[in-house]
């Protein structure tokens, strides 16, 4: 597999059960780069859930993966961030991080078109630690609570939308790698006449 020529932040985006973690793992394995999963951090906060507000713990989880990503990028490594990226403010933070470390930022959003398959996947995996929806009813409640905030414009950030129920994991990973490499070329500093 080819190596990325510049540091890249690959930000996954999508709802629980959408296939983003499965695709993120496949991409990270193919590129041999660190995968930083917000749920890994959030799972460590479970003992604090009775004494701390959930939004605070969620924000803490995001800040932790951003800090770890910053360290990896300063080492010259690309990273893949596995999180819902549900608010525009999360993307804004990544834009600032990328700019401050001269890294590229790309977004891969997982949007399953087959809601029956999405529902089966979600319910098959269960809740995983109490902070993820375990049933379709819980998923619908979460989507209602989001109130459309997940549907924001990423402006000029390169974005790929992956229908994770229409293609195999191999096909999705191949398309994602092609997308990533198309935006990971070094920025040319020379001017042409």
- Total structural domains within the chain: 1
pLDDT of 151 reads 82
Read off the pLDDT of residues 104-163 as tens digits, 9 standing for 90 and up. 999 999 999 998 998 888 888 765 555 677 788 877 888 787 787 778 889 899 999 999
In this structure, is residue 191 part of a structural domain?
A: no
Read off the pLDDT of residues 151-182 as tens digits, 9 standing for 90 and up. 888 989 999 999 999 999 999 999 999 999 99
Pairing of strands 159-162, 79-82: unpaired
Measured distance CA(164)–CA(176) in Å, rounded: 12
Mean pLDDT over 4-25 rounds to 92
Tokens 């932040």 -> residue: 9
Q: In this structure, are residues 166 and 23 in contact, taking their beta carbons and an 8 Å threshold?
A: no
Q: In this structure, are residues 106 and 9 in contact, taking their beta carbons and an 8 Å threshold?
A: yes
Read off the pLDDT of residues 27-43 as tens digits, 9 standing for 90 and up. 999 999 999 999 888 87
Give every CB contact of residue 141 below 8 A, 6+ residues apart in sequence. Answer: 133
pTM: 0.87
In this structure, is residue 129 part of a structural domain?
A: yes
The residue segments making up the domain with residue 159 are 8-183
Q: Rounded mean pLDDT of the chain?
A: 87
In this structure, is residue 124 part of a structural domain?
A: yes
In this structure, is residue 157 part of a structural domain?
A: yes
In this structure, is residue 68 part of a structural domain?
A: yes
In this structure, is residue 100 part of a structural domain?
A: yes
CATH classification at residue 159: 3.40.50.300
pLDDT of 59 reads 87
């Amino acid at each position: 597999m080819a190596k990325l020529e510049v540091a890249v932040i690959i930000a996954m985006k999508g709802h629980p059960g959408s296939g983003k973690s499965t695709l993120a793992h496949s991409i990270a394995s193919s590129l041999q780069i660190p995968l930083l999963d917000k749920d890994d951090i959030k799972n460590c906060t479970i003992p604090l859930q009775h004494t701390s507000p959930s939004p605070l713990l969620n924000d803490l989880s995001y800040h932790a993966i951003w800090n770890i990503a910053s360290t990896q990028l300063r080492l010259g490594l690309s990273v893949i961030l596995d999180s819902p990226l549900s608010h525009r403010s999360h993307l804004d933070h990544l834009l600032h991080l990328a700019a401050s470390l001269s890294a590229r930022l790309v977004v891969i959003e997982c949007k399953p078109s087959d809601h029956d398959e999405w529902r089966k996947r979600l319910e098959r995996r269960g809740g995983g630690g109490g902070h993820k929806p375990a049933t379709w009813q819980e998923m619908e409640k979460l989507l209602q609570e989001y109130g459309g905030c997940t549907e924001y414009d990423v402006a000029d950030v390169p974005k790929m939308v992956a229908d994770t129920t229409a293609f195999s994991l191999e096909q999705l990973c191949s398309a994602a790698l092609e997308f990533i490499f198309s935006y990971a070329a070094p920025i040319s500093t020379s001017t042409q006449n």
